[in-house]
Structure 1
Amino acid sequence: MVVAVLQGSERSERMGDRAAKWVIAQLEARGHEAVLVDAGALDLPILNKMWKELKGSDAKEDAALKAKLQPLAELYARADGFAVVSGEYNHSVPPGLTNLIDYFLQEYFFRPSAIVCYSTTPFGGVRAAMQLRTLLPEVGLPTIPSLQPIASIGASLSEEGVALTQDLAEKSGKFFDEFDWYMKAFKLGRAAGVPY
């Protein structure tokens, strides 16, 4: 399966890199192609035009943004699922992640998403995950039932994305098993035909 791993924090001292590396390692260990989509590295402007409006544009002012978004459009067309790695900002979703998600729409349809949330506190970013439960299905990315919270991320994952706690190292398998199942089921469904 091809999985786009969306990492949404744009802060200079962000901890989400650890979570994204861990997610990629977990997916690759299962034989998936995991591709990082980093909002911080992309440095996208605040949404003005969606990809569907930009892709046919010949305007010079749209050229640089089109060049940034074209590889994402190609990746998303191949993707079987989306792993969304989110911190928690003011009990909600990081603005960079929302902005990244909002650039696309049809490219997400009939593909599942899995939420990996984190924070520096024991809550593990679950309040942001609840906001993502509203946002992701609205753009066509239904979420799998389970969440994977990472509490106290600085003590739970190394800078290289290696699990430092027994819970994270040993008890996350069911989450990825569930994501696998949904990706396979949705892929079969897309192959059989979608309702529109």
Structure 2
Amino acid sequence: MSRTILVFYGSYRRDRQGIKLARWIVDSLAARGDRAELVDAMAVDLPMLDRRHSDFAAGEAPAAMDALADRIAAADGFVFVTGEYNGGLQPGLKNLVDHYLPQFAWRPAAIASYSAGPFAGIRAATAWRTTLGAMGMVVTATPLSLARIGSAFDADGGPAGEDGERLARAFPRFADDLAWWTDAAKAQREQAPPPF
């Protein structure tokens, strides 16, 4: 069964490293037969949150905000690729996500975290679990965590070194968990609308 999975990434830093992980996840999901699409907060370029998408009357939201709302609502599941900024959430990704709410509900989300050091963004992943759950998403139990991202990919974007090899070994279980929840949520949404 083919699934539409949006992979969200939110760093705005000049030398951002996490984009390598986000692109690798998109490619790896596509290799499994899913329709995976990257949503790069910097490319979407929404303003700092003033009005959510739902605060606008139909047809009055900025075009980029409207287009992303449609993509989110049509997706079957999500992956959030997040670095750790001072022990917490990336502001660019959080700002993007906060523009939406109902479009995310009743779908699963998986978290892939990373860091330049040895701790692999674990604190950011923990914070995202709370945020995504509060937005109505089921967060999968299998995280994907990557330490020392700067040396974890080769020039072609493939996993490299010990950390990259660990990532490649962990990915199938991460993707299988997301696939199971995506299929289950999709079947349930088709059987009965969400209760509220």
5 Å matches for 1:42-81? Answer: 42-56=44-58, 58=60, 66-81=62-77
Aligned match of 1:136 in 122, 132, 139?
132
SS in 1 for 2:103: helix
Q: 1:186 is matched with which residue? A: 185
Change (3 A) 1:173 1:81: same
5 Å matches for 1:93-132? Answer: 93-132=89-128
SS in 2 for 1:183: helix
CA distance in 1, matches of 2:57, 2:136: 20
CA distance in 2, matches of 1:113, 1:12: 27
Deviation at 1:28, TM superposition (A): 0.2
Show structure 2 runs of 5+ residues with no match.
Answer: none
CA distance in 2, matches of 1:153, 1:68: 30
Aligned match of 1:11 in 10, 13, 16?
13
Deviates more, 1:34-43 or 1:79-88: 34-43
Show structure 1 runs of 5+ residues with no match.
Answer: none
Alpha-carbon RMSD across the aligned residues, in angstroms, is 1.4
CA deviations over 1:16-41 (Å, ceiling 9, x no partner): 11011111011101111111111111
Change (3 A) 1:189 1:69: same
Deviation at 1:183, TM superposition (A): 0.4
Name the TM-score, length of structure 2 as normaliser. 0.92
Q: 1:28 is matched with which residue? A: 30
Tell me if the contact between 2:144 and 2:167 (Cα under 8 Å) persists in the aligned partners: no
Deviation at 1:160, TM superposition (A): 4.4
Aligned length: 190
Identity of matched residues, %: 37
CA distance in 2, matches of 1:49, 1:43: 15
Amino acid at match of 1:28: A
CA deviations over 1:71-124 (Å, ceiling 9, x no partner): 111111210001000010000010001101100000011000000000111111
